[in-house]
Chain A
Amino acid sequence: MEEKQSLISPPVPLAQLGEDQNLKPRMETRGLSVYYGKKMGVGSVTMPIYTNQVTALIGPSGCGKTTFLRALNRMHDLTPIARVEGEAILDGQNIYTPGVDPVEIRRKIGMVFQKPNPFPTLSIYDNVVAGLKLLGVGKKSVLDEAAERSLRQSALWDEVKDRLRAPGMSLSGGQQQRLCIARALAVQPEVLLMDEPTSALDPISTQAIEDLMTTLKKHVTIVIVTHNMQQAARVSDFTGYFLTGELVEFGPTNTLFTAPKDPRTEAYITGRFG
């Protein structure tokens, strides 16, 4: 799975994939539903998220893919009217079990947002180590090391190593987004959730972030929501297709794009709908 996948590579059966790669799910949802008040945002989604793979969530606007993503690190706790039912299991534990601290969960499951959102008053360096400082890490050598590691992982190091003290906002949009990725990586999360991370970026920055994902997945499990089917096809190993809050189809990206089982998936990926 090292080289990039494309639409024309032959489909690989899931069973075979699992055997070859020793695929283990890092996370798993069981009947996960999200309600806004009485309205259902996502209905009973059951899907695995495999370790060190990129899982893409695609579907038309308002289909619930972002809502589902945000349920994976308990971001809905911040919305008073949102309610989550079902289970989301990380390392064998349901993160919605009463008594589980959402703060702990979010430290294990990092997030990158649609719009780059570095802390505007902090320098590049301070943005990257912000999460570590929250954890109480104060030793400069540890912080320096983590900053360099995360900036290298997010392919930003060479561009910023001479101006780590410059404000985070002085970077371009694409660099800011990679800074946000570095910030999320600095605390060494197990899973990285990306909510349309390239939708606010130009094509070159998009390319940089897509390239990044294929190398990043060696370190971290990635879930990406994208509007862009080509992007899902380019970067992901598994794809879930959402429609009106329901997971219509889930499978290896090759299979889903070349031989979709569900006619609704086929309609979407062939561009007849959405």
Chain B
Amino acid sequence: MATVRTQSRPSTSPLYRAFGDRLFAGLVLLLCLLIIGIVLLIGWQLGWNGARAFEVFGIVGFLSSTAWNPVTDVYGAWPFILGTLITSLLALALAFFPALAVAIFATEYAPRWLGNVLSYALELLASLPSVIYGLWGLSVLVPALRGVQQSLFLWASDHAQWLLPVLGNPIGIGLSAAVMVLAVMVIPYTASLAKDSIALVPAVQREAAYGLGATKWEVIRMAVVPYARGGILAGVILGLTRALGETMAVVLVIGNNKNLPFTLFGPATTIPSAIVNEFGEAQGLQLSSLLALGFILFLISGVLNLLAAWIVKRMSVDGRL
């Protein structure tokens, strides 16, 4: 019954006077606190167990060091942070316009039945296990990509030598494969939220543009997309958090190379792939460093989410998505 008493203002609001209402309010509050508690506990656990890495190398030292050597027991987080941010942001950039196009087509152009089929397909894609995307990447995308990369590489070695260090080894597996797989995984999230948000644009907004003599495309550009921009952004953010934490699909295609500099074609790494690759055998300082990496990812996701929530709020029309 202690939780019931934590419910504030039972005397002021008649809504909470009945015993059943108070019990329910207390239960809901308890569950809310539980969620917040779990988040804090995860953060604390990661931070606490990773603290040794920060102690030994220093906070700045651990964050900025590019060394990661279990033999000499020296660890640094920079390649993993860099790899995570590069793959996620590039994937997002690659996914944004296709996702928006799908959303606009599904709501504005497709006949109703096709729109419904598209919605269903998007939900299915979003719920597909990520290891499937990884397998698809490994068995279909990587071989195809390898051919493209090799011809680009050959062209560059004849015509633009300076490009070669940027491109890296054209082996298929690597940064560009990871970015593409991630982009495909992000599209359903972004498109789905953008679609819902576009469907909520009031008819009077569309009519305002039509009444000015706008064509359908001009109506979409002028009235629909600007009005829905909050929801579209929310979809982008959701995609970003998915991309940041994505593990299986990335591990399979990224090539797991922690030596900087990363190249466009060549292998790279991310925080989740480092953890999944090394966690099994790690102990001592290495384990602590991996947990510290996890803590860094936790913070990056948290900060980006907060930033995103703030941006979405600023961009939303009438405070709705």
Chain A residues with a Cβ under 8 A of chain B = 73, 75, 78, 103-107, 110-115, 117-122, 130-131, 134-135, 169, 180, 183-184, 187
Contacts and interface: CB of A to CB of B under 8 A. Distances in A.
14 contacts: A78-B210, A106-B210, A106-B212, A107-B212, A113-B211, A117-B205, A119-B222, A121-B227, A121-B317, A131-B212, A131-B213, A134-B212, A135-B213, A184-B212
Contact of B214 (A105, A134, A169, A180): A134
B207 A78 contact: yes
Contacts of B209: 119, 130
Contact of A103 (B202, B214, B222, B226): B214
B229 A113 contact: no
A115 to B, nearest CB: 6
B311 to A, nearest CB: 14
A78 B206 contact: yes
Given A78-B207, A113-B207, A180-B208, A121 B229 contact: yes
A135 B205 CA distance: 19
B211 A73 contact: yes
B204 interface: yes
A91 B202 CA distance: 33
Contacts, number: 72
Contacts of A110: 211-212
Contacts of A131: 212-213
Nearest to B206: A78
B215 interface: yes
A110 B214 CA distance: 11
Contacts of A73: 211
Contact of B213 (A103, A120, A121, A169): A103
B205 to A, nearest CB: 6
B187 interface: no
Contacts of B55: none
A131 B226 CA distance: 16
B320 to A, nearest CB: 11
Interface of B: 202, 204-215, 218, 222-223, 226-227, 229, 317-318
A135 B215 CA distance: 11
Contacts of B207: 75, 78, 111, 113, 117
A56 B226 CA distance: 34
Contact of A130 (B210, B222, B227): B222
A103 B211 CA distance: 9
A117 B209 CA distance: 10
B212 A120 contact: no
A100 to B, nearest CB: 13
Contacts of B206: 78
A180 B202 CA distance: 16
A139 B207 CA distance: 26
A43 B204 CA distance: 25
Contacts of B205: 117, 119-120
Contacts of B222: 119, 130, 134
B210 A183 contact: no
Contacts of A105: 213
A66 B204 CA distance: 14
Given A120-B317, A121-B317, A75 B210 contact: yes
A209 to B, nearest CB: 17
A161 B214 CA distance: 27
A147 to B, nearest CB: 14
Given A104-B213, A134-B222, A120 B208 contact: no
Contacts of A120: 205, 226-227, 317-318
Contacts of B318: 120
A106 B213 contact: yes
Contacts of B204: 113-115, 117
A51 B205 CA distance: 29
Contacts of A134: 212-214, 218, 222
A78 B222 CA distance: 17
Given A122-B226, A135-B213, 14 more contacts: A75-B207, A107-B212, A110-B211, A110-B212, A113-B211, A117-B208, A120-B226, A121-B226, A121-B227, A130-B209, A134-B213, A134-B218, A169-B317, A187-B212
A72 B280 CA distance: 73
A113 B227 contact: no
Contacts of A122: 226
Contacts of A115: 204
B208 A113 contact: yes
A25 B214 CA distance: 26
Nearest to B214: A134
A162 to B, nearest CB: 25
A110 B211 CA distance: 6
A205 B207 CA distance: 23
A121 B215 CA distance: 19
Task: Tell me which of B202, B204, B213, B229 has the highest count of chain A C-beta atoms within 10 A of its own C-beta.
Answer: B213
Contacts of A130: 209, 212, 222
A180 B214 CA distance: 15
Contacts of A107: 212-213
Nearest to A112: B211
Contacts of A183: 208, 212
Nearest to B215: A103
B211 A106 contact: yes
A104 B215 CA distance: 9
